[in-house]
Structure 1
């Protein structure tokens, strides 16, 4: 078990903001991104939280992420088409979901096809933001090709994370977030950092041979969950968040060879899809509330005492973090301290 120290949310957000500002971001944008990263950590999604910050800083400093992005959108037949101008994914994703929520106040369904943005981080945060405002939402990010089957000579398709969230009366929002691989690539990258093996059945090496070596998995390919079923859902992501969201300027960098040349980690220039539904306009508000209550109560009643709806554990962790602080693994803290020293940024202090 990795040791951890506890930090207040405010101190972590301020620390992350300082690191992003010194990397070129405007203070307001840096604070918004830091808030999402720390919220991800507080909700227990540690593979996509603070452990990713050094990679984001690296991408900002190399220019793969545009620190001065001018995010724009146009409307096409009622759908939003967002151009991130190379922005960090968290910033572009936040703009996308906020625009969808704004439009959803007046129309039942809003779609956003987004291009030229970085790694979104935890994809489930964006539907959660919408669900906290009373909307049902879906988000998908298209990734470079990473999925393969045993024996594959190369990657077949992206592992295209998909998430949805929905408001549930008298409960936390339901939030389900998954990659189409057996395990998210963030688990592999974290295992590489920690010098740990990964479980069997997660990945194959570059030759298509099953492996438990994290570095071989990082340089190889991930296995889809449920075999062909995972591949099928990844194809849905490829259509919605790739073929429909990209334009011809993106075609070359969407190829496996182009993605491989950029190395591991949180790549820039990616595409995504967002959908927001207003239950009050799509159906009767009371009908949605009653039926959502019915099936979630039925689930809870029959699933056993340990069962929970997706999102409940993360919400419990977030409440605890706001009251008592966020536990951050010691190896992640060490990397942040090293980064801070290199950039001349004052580090935060843990809670006593």
Structure 2
């Protein structure tokens, strides 16, 4: 929770200094998008995924939706037309794909930490490799984005002819001023900070890796202190008082309660884990590991869209741990992929996630029937990618 607290402060610093605006504008104004509607779609989705991963879950939605409203009105596209409807939904889908990727913040961190506790209680502590998890998450998201766009272009085939008039000048008609040295320094230091957090996963046996692993909280605190201490034009890079005024207390307490809830749900005292193991282990007893992984992913996508995705992730972890412990299988690839998938596929119903609720709540541009129809199609594509590409990749990188 200490690490999450300072990471949320750092993300607020990025927002305060308008770095999210520059990131969004970067993805919008690529010259390759000129006259190419599907290249434009790809860069919007890529921007949503990366910003959802590293700049806060809802940031890309609130940034890109208003921009898209303006673009559609400019080219003469109206609400409920096929392409605008699909594009609004794709913003949510791409953001969800990015949301669980960082292993050092958010619900991804909460589920990774919870699995460490679950396996520790079973007598064999397993720590998911952060760098491997991050690589699998990014690869999975990019493959999903590419395949979803190909599906939209060649199967759904919405009319995109009016978007061929889009030019970089149209997208950049309210240009941002050049980035200041202050903004560049904050952005560069944030990238270095993320790389430092990944060193223990890349080089765990080195002295530096071991030191960072035992001092992760201190590094987050130290980076925040440096941002407050370094002054440019007599102003700190991070104005602590101003940043704390917009601190996401709701997000912080949600993550904190999620971690505590995970500990409670997986504790033997509550009886939930023993109950699930008693019911499910006889079913899985003679099932091959590959088939078990497929069944878990099917359970994941079915349950996460009717219940809270985080809770489903917590409840499936003891089942995975018990099966893999009994069969001597490495559980890391299966549980890592389950964490990524349970959080990224929660889009089919309003109850699945706050992102899905936001999508279904956008009645001005998205009909409920279209939200159910298209989100179901896109989640099925995600499932296919998980089974054919991402799970084998996780097995290779995390074994």
Same fold (TM over 0.5): no
Structure (1 or 2) with the greater strand fraction: 1
- TM-score, normalization by structure 1: 0.22
Question: TM-score, length-normalised on structure 2?
Answer: 0.20
> Rg larger in 1 or in 2?
2
